[in-house]
Structure 1
Amino acid sequence: MQLRLEPVRFRDAAAFVQMWHRYNQKATGCKFCIGVADDSNVLRGVAIVGRPSARMLDNGHTLEVTRTATDGTWNVNSMLYAAAWNAAKALGYRRLVTYNHARMYGPLCPGPCLHESCRWIRVGESGVSLKAAGWRIVAQRPARAGWSCPSRPRDLNGSEGIPKTLWEAAS
C-alpha cells in the first residue's frame, strides 16, 4: 500500500479525530491540518496543528500538534509528525511541540511485566512515532487534577491524572 500526504479541511480532520481518537475531545481550531491517504484515496490519519496550549510557549514562532489520529495503518503517525514539522518550518515557525500521555507502570513492577500476580498497569504512549519522525523529549510533566481554578473555572477534559511528555521538533 502506498501512502501519500493530503491537505485536509479542519472540519474533516476534526471528524476523523472524533471517530478514531481514543480519549481526546474535539479540537477547537487550527493553523493547518495534514492527512495521509492510501492509493485507494482512503484517509488513514490526520494531524491538527494550532497555537500552543501552554501560554508560555505561544511566542509567535511555536506551534503545537494538538491532535493526531489514525486508523492503525502502519507508519501513518510518524509520517504525520514529520510532515507537520516540515510544513511548520516552511511557514517560518522555529519550533513545533506536542504532548503525549507518558507511560506509567505500577505498583509492583518498574517496567512492563507479564506476571499476572504483579497486576501491572500501563497507560500512555511510547512515543515511537515521534522518535521515528526525529522529535525529542523536552520535559516530563506530572499528572494534574485538572486546570480549573476559582478565577477561571474549566470543565474536566478526560486526561486528568495522567503524566504527560512534552516533545519538540526545532531548528
Structure 2
Amino acid sequence: MKIVPLTLREANDFVEQHHRHSARTSNDGGKFAIGIEVGGELVGAAIVGRPVARMLQRPGAAELLRCCVSPAAPRNACSRLEARCKRIWQQMGGTRLLTYTLARESGASLRATGAVREATVDAESWNRPSRRRAARSIEAEDKVRWSWTLPEIPA
C-alpha cells in the first residue's frame, strides 16, 4: 500500500463512485486530500477540510470530511488513511481533527487510530426558515462525533 497526494477533485470523484452513503464534498474549505494505492490502482481516498459545524471552526481544528475505500482495498486501509490524515494535519500545525460516523457504524478504524468518541449528534435537516436548502435524497441519521487531540510539534 502506498499513500499518495490527490487533488480535491480526484478524491471527490473516488468518493462519488465508492462511498456507501455520502456524496462529494463542497470544495470550499478543503485543506488536503490523499489516496491509497495498491499496485498503482487507487483503492481509497480521504478529504480533510474545515469543520462543517460553525461552532467547531476554531484555530487548529479540521474535519476528516470523507474516508472511503473500494472493495479492492486491503484490510486496514481506512485506518491507514485516517492515521496519515491525522499526521499531516499535525505537521501543518493543527491541534484537533474531527470526524463523524453514522450511529449504526462501529467506528473500529477510528478507535484503532486513537480517536475518542466525543458526542452523539441528533439527525436534523439542513433546511432552516432563514436558510432554505433543497431536500437531500438520503434521510438524515443520528451521528457520532469522534476527535483526535494532536500535540504541537516543536519548531
TM-score clears 0.5: yes
Q: Quick one: distance in 1 between partners of 2:137 and 2:149?
A: 29
Q: Secondary structure at the match of 2:37?
A: strand
Post-superposition offset of 1:160? 3.7
Post-superposition offset of 1:149? 1.0
Opposite residue 142 of structure 1, the aligned amino acid is: D
Correspondence 1:139 to 2:140: no
CA RMSD of aligned residues (A): 1.2
**Identical columns (%):** 36
Opposite residue 148 of structure 1, the aligned amino acid is: N
5+ residue gaps, structure 1, are 104-124
Contact 1:24–1:158 (CA<8 Å) still a contact in 2? no
**Aligned twin of 1:26:** 24
**Aligned twin of 1:78:** 79
**Aligned twin of 2:44:** 45
Contact 1:25–1:157 (CA<8 Å) still a contact in 2? no
* Count of paired positions: 146
5+ residue gaps, structure 2, are 151-155
Greater gyration radius:
1
Q: Secondary structure at the match of 1:31?
A: strand
Q: Quick one: distance in 2 between partners of 1:167 and 1:159?
A: 22
**Aligned twin of 2:3:** 5
Q: Secondary structure at the match of 2:85?
A: helix
Residues 57-76 of structure 1 mapped to structure 2, 5 A cutoff = 57-72=56-71, 73=73, 74-76=75-77
Residues 72-151 of structure 1 mapped to structure 2, 5 A cutoff = 72=71, 73=73, 74-103=75-104, 125-144=105-124, 146-151=125-130
Report the TM-score when normalising by structure 2: 0.89
